[in-house]
Structure formats: C-alpha cells, structure tokens
Amino acid sequence: MKRKGFFLAAAMLAASLTASAAPPRTMRLDYYHTGNAAEERFSVDRVVLELLPWAGGRPVDDTNLGKYFFEVIDRKTNRILYSRGFASIYGEWELTGEAKAVNRTFHESLRFPAPDGPVQVVLKKRDARNAFREIWSFLLDPKDMFVDSSKPASPGPLLEIQKTGDPTDKVDFLIVGDGYTAAERPKFEKDARRLTEILFSFSPFKERRSDFNVWGLCPASDESGISRPSTGIHRRSRVGATYDSFGSERYVLTFENRLFRDVASFAPYDFVEILTNTRTYGGGGIFGLFSTVAADSFWSPYVFVHEFGHHFAGLADEYFTSDVAIEPAADRVEPWEPNATALLDPKELKWKDLVTPGIPIPTPWNKEAFEVQSREIQTRRRQIRAENRPEEEMDALFREQKEKESRLLAANTWFGKVGAFEGAMYEAKGYYRPQIDCIMFSRNDVPFCAVCRRAIERVIDLYSTPRARAAR
C-alpha cells in the first residue's frame, strides 16, 4: 500500500513539473495605427488570448532588424520579458506620395507569450539616425475582464506539411491559402507542398530544413481568386488578399489584419506565407508580418522565395529599375536591412568580413548597359498591363529579360564576388548591394548572396533553440 502511494505521489509530482514547464498561451495586442507622412498615432482595439500555446524562440531579439521594435516589460521587476523587431504596412505606406496628402488607418498586431501579471508594452521606431525611440506605450493586465479569449470561426483542419519537432524548439512556418473554395482545398495542399520543396532547395534553408515545422491552413472562400481592382475584380476572400496595393499592380497584401490573425491563430506560427489562388504575376513581403505569392504564376518559385526573404530576414529589394510606389528618401541614412548599404564609410562596410580580397569598393560593374536593357523591358511591361494583354505575354517578356540579364551580369569581372555594387532599394545611385546578382536582385537562376544567407541564418537561430540544433 505504501509502495502504491509512493508511485501515486511521484506521478502527481511529474505531472506538476510537466504542467509548470508547459509554454504559456499566446497573447495578442491588436491596435490601430493612424497618421500620415508627418505624424502617427496609436489606439488599442483589443487584447486577445489566442487558442494555442506560444510557439517559442529566444525571448529577447538581438538581431537589430526592423523599422519598428517592441518590448514587453514586467511591471514589478522592469525586466524585459520579450522583444521583437518588425516592419509594417503603415511603415511602407508613409513613404508613398499619398501619405503626404491624406491620413490613413491600418490595423496591426503584436504577439508575445501571455505574461503572469501586468506588463508595459513599449513600441519603438527608428529615428533619423537609425536609433530606436519610444513612440507608444500601453499598460496591459492579462487578468483584465476585457481580454478576449473567444474562439474565432474555424478555418478548417490544420495541415501538417512538415513536422520535425515541438513548436517551442522550431521555426514554425505557416502557409495560408486565400481564394480557394472548399472544392479547391486539394489544390491548395498540392500548391503548398510544391512551394515548400522549392524553399528548401535554396541555401541556407536547405541545410537548416530540420529546424522548421511547416503547417497549412486553407479557409474556404465562396469564390476562386482574390481582388484585382485595376481590372475591376473584387472578392471577399477569407484573408482579404488583394493585388494593386499602393497602386502597384503586382503588389499583393492583405489590409484585413483581423481576418488574417483570426485564421492564423489556429496554427503555431512564427512566419506566414499567404498563398493566393491566382495566376497573375504578383506577391509581397513585409518583415515579421507575412509574405504573399500568386500560386499559379509561372514565376511563383522565384516570387515565393524572394518575398519570403523580405518577410523572414528583413532583406531589402536590391533591384532599382522597376516601378514602385515608395518615393526616394531625401537623406541617405544607412539602411537597417542587412543586404543594402548607403556606403557612408567605405572602410566600415557592414559586411566587410565577407568582402572578396582585393575587390574595389565601390565595385565597378556594367551598370549603364544594364539600365538601358531594363528601361526597354519596363516600357514594354507597362504597355502589356495598360492594354490588359494575356499573362502569357508578360511571362514571355520576363523570360526574355532573364536571358539578357543573365548573360550581361555573368560577363562582369566581379560576378559571384562580394563587394559593394551601386544600385539597390529602388534607387540607381546612393545605395549598394553585396553581389552583382542575387535572388533579391533578379529573376535569374541565382541563389541568395553570401550576405543574405548569413542574415537568414541569424533569424533561424533566433527561433530554433540550441537543443533542437544539437539534435540535428
């Protein structure tokens, strides 16, 4: 009898230890971000206690990435419980011409492990010198009666695309379908699995595949496809993705953050890809928010990986000849993005440890010839869209561009080497990229450059614990 009591007590103790070690629930602060190019304001929408436990990752972010940064600070001890850098749709919109003329409001969210007691949530933004400055603060009590623990409408069953371990130890990547009807769910699964394999064919994702879990959710839409306002198409898809964001015909985002967050809350996630059931070339990516891709586009493999680079590691666009809505900056400030520089001090190049010995800084390349080719391609591209011609014509134009650019860039003396090549971040002058070609620069069959690969590795390490890496 005593022996039985001993084992019962031991079992109860083990259960108690297991329970105490369980991760907390996920808490989300939803808020409105309002303003224009000159000012911004914040107001709370709701505090949400999500359904699932916190997915993990190191609590304190030391990567120095993001235009914004938030901290969750314990009120009793003033200890930082959690922090993350991120970017936002508002952060891009405020750089457009529209932001100089009108105010707009965007819905945003901050997610973190649910705290035991009151915390101060502090939001910061980079100033003109790139230092983070506090712009908003909110006192949050997790025991407040208005914390919303209700269950949103289910988006359907959770698809396990790849599971290599517990979410607390892994990078949890969620692929969400938008514009798929209930009958098209098998197509979503096929699309999601195809693109997952493509992502893990690129270094360093290929070598670090065992550090990732990949999940899928596909809420059923009433109609196939998503909105494309420039052609008069409007859809009420379940996640709200749309082409023509900021007036750019290829830029796909969702401005329906509430819809997006409610759907995503049914999966453990650190990063999200919105897979749209469309063929027209398009996608988008915002650091720490989400990335998007048109699943059926001929160029979906490239767009998927390129845009995920923005979302996952805060990588900058390295191209500079395509039309964009963002207006040039008046002053040259060193970008926070790891793969672009203003080269204000060539001797202190941010990736100087990776520079090819003997390479000149800045690095000469056949830039003028490249620009002549690109201008001609962009003129033809605008004409195809203006006349609403078949997507096959756009695909053919991009294949022609790829063939010409590949030959031109490969002929450069410093092809494949790390230096500082002028032309990046949508501007021909004043910003520089690490290598002459990279998947963040062109649609050519090239990998991430050395600087981009290192940036991606750092983010993987932020979310994949040492315990998980030791088990690889």
Q: Where are the beta strands (DSSP E) in 119-258?
A: 119-126, 132-140, 159-162, 171-178, 212-217, 241-242, 253-254
| pTM for the model | 0.92
**pLDDT of 363-411, one tens digit each?**
999 999 999 999 999 999 999 989 989 999 999 999 999 999 999 999 9
**pLDDT of 3-30, one tens digit each?**
444 333 334 433 433 344 689 999 999 9
CATH class of 25-140: mainly beta
Closest CA to 244 of 203, 299, 295, 281: 281
Alpha-carbon distance of 383 to 15, in angstroms, equals: 67
Side-chain half-sphere of 148: how many Cα atoms within 13 Å?
12
**pLDDT of 350-363, one tens digit each?**
999 999 999 999 99
Q: Where are the domain boundaries for CATH 2.60.40.3250 in the chain?
A: 25-140
Count CB atoms within 10 A of the CB of residue 18.
9
Strands 68-74 and 119-126: antiparallel
Query: How high is the pLDDT of residue 18?
Result: 38
Give the residue carrying structure tokens 């100089």.
100
Alpha-carbon distance of 295 to 191, in angstroms, equals: 7
Query: How high is the pLDDT of residue 325?
Result: 66
Q: Which residue has the higher pLDDT, 123 or 15?
A: 123
**pLDDT of 248-301, one tens digit each?**
999 999 999 999 999 999 999 999 999 999 999 999 999 999 999 999 999 999
Query: How high is the pLDDT of residue 467?
Result: 54
Strands 212-217 and 171-178: parallel
Query: How high is the pLDDT of residue 21?
Result: 66
Assess whether pLDDT exceeds 90 at residue 332: no
Q: How many residues does the chain have?
A: 472
Query: How high is the pLDDT of residue 326?
Result: 72
**pLDDT of 52-105, one tens digit each?**
999 989 999 999 999 999 999 999 999 999 999 999 999 999 999 999 999 999
Q: Which residues pair with 137 in a beta bridge?
A: 122
Query: How high is the pLDDT of residue 469?
Result: 52
Residue-wise DSSP of 253-284: EE--HHHHHHHHTTS--SEEEEEES--SS-EE
Angle between helix 300-313 and 450-463 (nearest 10): 60
The answer to whether 62 touches 259, Cβ cutoff 8 Å, is no
- Does domain 159-313 fall under CATH 3.20.20.20? My reply is no
Give the residue carrying structure tokens 């949103």.
152
Q: Where are the domain boundaries for CATH 3.40.390.10 in the chain?
A: 159-313
Q: Which residues pair with 273 in a beta bridge?
A: 175, 291
Alpha-carbon distance of 53 to 184, in angstroms, equals: 30
